[in-house]
Amino acid sequence: MAKQLNLFTTGQVIATDLHTEMQRSYLEYAMSVIVGRALPDVRDGLKPVHRRILYAMHELGLTPDKPYRKCARVVGDVLGKYHPHGDQAVYDALVRMVQDFSCRYPLLAGHGNFGSVDNDPPAAMRYTETRLAPIGHEALLSEISSATVDFTENFDNSQAEPVVLPAQLPVLLLNGCSGIAVGMATNVPPHNLGEVVDGLIALIDSPDISDEKLFALISGPDFPTGGQIVGTEGIKSAYTTGRGSILVRGVASNEQIQSGSRGRRRRDCIVVTELPYQVNKAAWIEKIADLVNTGKIEGISNIRDESDRTGMRVVIELKREANPKAILELLYKLTPLQSTFGAIMLALVEGQPRQLTLRQMLQEFLDFRLSTLTRQYSHELQESEKTTALGRRVTGGSPSTRCGARHS
């Protein structure tokens, strides 16, 4: 006890209020999660873990023309060099970049079981294999060097990693992104590549283009699992303010199928071929079965999942007296066949989280692309000038000087 009192009297202990220390520590933790984990950068559209996975695979030479490599090897490199967190967290991020039902344009190509839209888990990383997809290699890594983007030291100062990848396409809009930080969240919907490129070209040609013309080129999100967007108010709100609720419905049609022992009878059925984004098909079918068993939906006699590698097909057989339109409306109302996508266009701009409109996201990417090309061409010009100067020193001066000396 006497030693503790001596520490206070000698000034070796700094008295700090508890609420002040908690406020400072929590703010540091919040900024670490916001900047270092949960939110994407508006320039390349990637979170740090995705950026590190892509760069580690680039360092391993896993280009689209090379053989697949075990995912465990990639995860090990990412953990050891750039991302000192859990291996399962890194593998989960890698798996999502392979899944074509999670990403509109997958940045990685996979070989093996990477899960399904039924929420089946992927195989262990020791079984699956991966390499860069063509769009991930060309659009994000083909121009990477210290001349185009800044590099920083990794966690133990043993390696250098890029602060941002020299993206040639706005990946944030193409694939979208979702993440929950401290006190904020992002949920950017994916878009069609052709529409986004048309919007970028229009913005380059006419920076003052009206929102109506811009929205005519980029008409709305393009989800990888399909679905139909109901109404345009949610899209306009998301594009003009950065927030909006987009109502999405699955694609369903009425068909008649043959039933009975000899197939002589015909029965009405509802066939669903597309589901809203991020809806678990198996859980959705179980939800319908529960509603039928509890009597909340009447008129359904059977449900079959006929999905295969060619596409999704869920057949809902109806009873003879059932009304297909009425049952479809109940499915929209009581099941995720109709769901709301809450768009939050939040991303990091110069290291700070900002809620952006569609125009601002496009402009931020164009500004980044301009700075990247300027750095690249300036570096090439300097290298060319150095080569020219070195050539002159080796040959002993300019051609005109040498000719004049011989003539004299």
Give the residue from 273, 333, 339, 332 showing the smallest Cα distance to 305.
Answer: 273
Active site residues: 127
Q: How far apart are CA 156 and CA 82, in angstroms?
A: 9
Asked if residue 245 lies in contact with residue 341, where contact means CB atoms within 8 angstroms, the answer is yes
Q: Where are the alpha helices (DSSP H) in 120-250?
A: 134-136, 171-175, 193-205, 211-217, 233-241
Coil vs helix vs strand at 71 = helix
Q: How far apart are CA 284 and CA 362, in angstroms?
A: 36
Asked if residue 378 lies in contact with residue 177, where contact means CB atoms within 8 angstroms, the answer is no
DSSP 8-state assignment for residue 223: -
Q: Which residues, 6 or more positions from 383, have their beta carbon under 8 angstroms from its beta carbon?
A: none
Coil vs helix vs strand at 54 = helix
State the amino acid at position 363 in one-letter form.
Q
Q: How far apart are CA 51 and CA 45, in angstroms?
A: 9
Q: How far apart are CA 65 and CA 134, in angstroms?
A: 9
C-alpha 134: how far from its chain's center? 16
Strand partners, 366: none
Tokens 């996508």 belong to which residue?
341
Q: How far apart are CA 6 and CA 10, in angstroms?
A: 6
Q: How far apart are CA 32 and CA 374, in angstroms?
A: 31
